[in-house]
Structure 1
Amino acid sequence: MENWLSHKSIVIIGGTTGLGFSAAKAFVKNGANVVVVGRNPENCLVAELELGSSARAKQGDATHPHTSLAAIQLCIREFGSFDGLYHVAGGNGKKYGDGPLHTLTLEGWNKTLDLNLTSLMLSNQAAVQAFTGMNKGGTILNMSSVLGIAPSSAPFEDHAYSTAKSAVIGFSKSIAATYASKNIRVNVIAPGILNNTIYQDEYVEKFVFGKQVLDGGRFGLSSDADGAAVYFMSDYSRFTTGQILSVDGGWQ
């Protein structure tokens, strides 16, 4: 898979940690230049140092309207091109009040949708505006979740999160249809459950391992989605748009 992305310049929103940072390393390994965006300045510094001369890091909040546009402008200024956007930014909204419907708070609903859906709309809008402004095609890859396709009962009954991740799919298919004639491709990766501090106990582990049975049964790894991301960012997917690829260990 070496050099699948030669001469590509890619912006990754949420690219300084987790799935986004793992993808950034895979993109650079495959010949791309990348701009990674994250909220934490220390993570930005570490990412830029580790990724090397083919990368730039920018601090920003993905829910702010100008963050993605500024990252795209940085990509063009530093690398002379902008060819693809990978939106990974998002996250669980439990701390804001997301949960099952009977306990879901309005703040939890609004914050979770902003974090996972509004931020994605803003980055996709900035990318489409950039591509059309340069009169060129390009590729957008969005991050959904297995919970947006095949929701679960406890311990994953976070209804705002599942709603947002399901909406990512509908939104992506809609804009894929609209901009296909302009050679702008929009696709979605839906990863399974990754190990994290929110869901760490024996019951959750047993539940997830029973659903994600590939590779002996395990949580997903950040690197599991790298191959799919490289494919969608490359010219090998030039005739593919509006598609959802699940990387969920067999959950569905």
Structure 2
Amino acid sequence: MNFKDTTYIIMGGTTGMGLASAIALKEKGANVLVVGRNLESCASAQETLGAGALFFCGDATNAKTMKAAISIAHDTFGTISGLFHVAGGSGRKWGDGPLDKITLEGWNKTMELNLTSMMLSNQAMVNYFLEQGRNGVILNMGSVLGFSPSPKYFTTHAYAAAKSAIIGFSKSIAAYYANKNIRVNVIAPSLFITPMAKRAAEDDAILHFLKTKQPLDGGRPGASEDINSAVLMFLHPDSKFITGQVLAVDGGWTLSEGQY
């Protein structure tokens, strides 16, 4: 799959699945600009990706961040082909959890991290495509928790609501901008080994549960690289007839009841 003469912005691309996708795109010939929220992660990603990739440090919940990233990528590489929005996170430390225990701060922070950040990046990218008068692609990061809950171990209800809203938002804008050939799709992973999933990945009971909840490949958490094939498929220009779709990359999560 050749990505020569294409350029992509990965919002939240300095760690985890975003970084794995940036590596895969660059290896296939794409130009990439990755955005992260702190200097340490940007520096680490720069060392990993090497020369030819661009980096921008900024907060995805700030409307100026995506606009600046678009300006830098366009000035350096020329026309931008698409966006992969990965940025998000758990609101657990602010008070996300079961509904009877959610704090208002936990709810608001979770929505800001996951939903507002995505709206801002998508809006800026769509405006760019419209201003340039060209087609383009947006891929948003959802979660299986947005439509396939797991009530014993994964009870952050604000997070599930935000990830469900990402699906509705993405389908709605996919429909509205289809006649402009602007495609919008969603990837919904299950439990992957990422910085956000540290709590679950170090819990023996959850890892045992995954043996039957994510039964593929021995019943394990996903590795960041496990989403790469799906990302490349959705972002490639040849996928020009695919929009408004949600693909679970979940090791079988949505097919299994899981055993305690």
Q: State if a TM-score over 0.5 links the two structures.
A: yes
Does 202-211 or 28-37 show the bigger shift? 202-211
Unaligned runs of 5+ in 2: 255-260
Residues 56-205 of structure 1: pairs in structure 2 closer than 5 A: 56-195=54-193, 196-199=197-200, 200-205=202-207
| Aligned equivalent of 1:8 | 6
Does 196-205 or 54-63 show the bigger shift? 196-205
Amino acid at match of 2:39: P
Amino acid at match of 2:231: A
Task: For residue 53 of structure 1, give the secondary structure of its aligned residue in structure 2.
Answer: coil
Amino acid at match of 2:103: T
State the 1:45 CA deviation: 1.8
Instruction: Give the alignment's Cα RMSD to 1 decimal.
Output: 0.9
Does 168-177 or 208-217 show the bigger shift? 208-217
Task: For residue 197 of structure 1, give the secondary structure of its aligned residue in structure 2.
Answer: helix
| Aligned equivalent of 1:53 | 51
State the 1:173 CA deviation: 0.1
| Aligned equivalent of 1:229 | 231
| Aligned equivalent of 1:246 | 248
Following superposition, which runs of at least 4 residues in structure 1 exceed 2 angstroms of deviation?
A: none
Amino acid at match of 1:160: A
The alignment covers a number of residue pairs equal to 250
**Distance in 2 (alpha carbons) for counterparts of 1:54 and 1:144:** 29
State the 1:206 CA deviation: 1.3
Q: Normalising by structure 2, what TM-score?
A: 0.94
**Distance in 1 (alpha carbons) for counterparts of 2:90 and 2:206:** 16
Unaligned runs of 5+ in 1: none
**Distance in 2 (alpha carbons) for counterparts of 1:172 and 1:97:** 27
**Distance in 2 (alpha carbons) for counterparts of 1:79 and 1:209:** 44
Q: Report if aligned partners of 1:32, 1:54 keep a CA contact under 8 Å in 2.
A: no
Amino acid at match of 1:37: V
**Distance in 1 (alpha carbons) for counterparts of 2:56 and 2:211:** 36
| Aligned equivalent of 1:216 | 218
Q: Normalising by structure 1, what TM-score?
A: 0.97
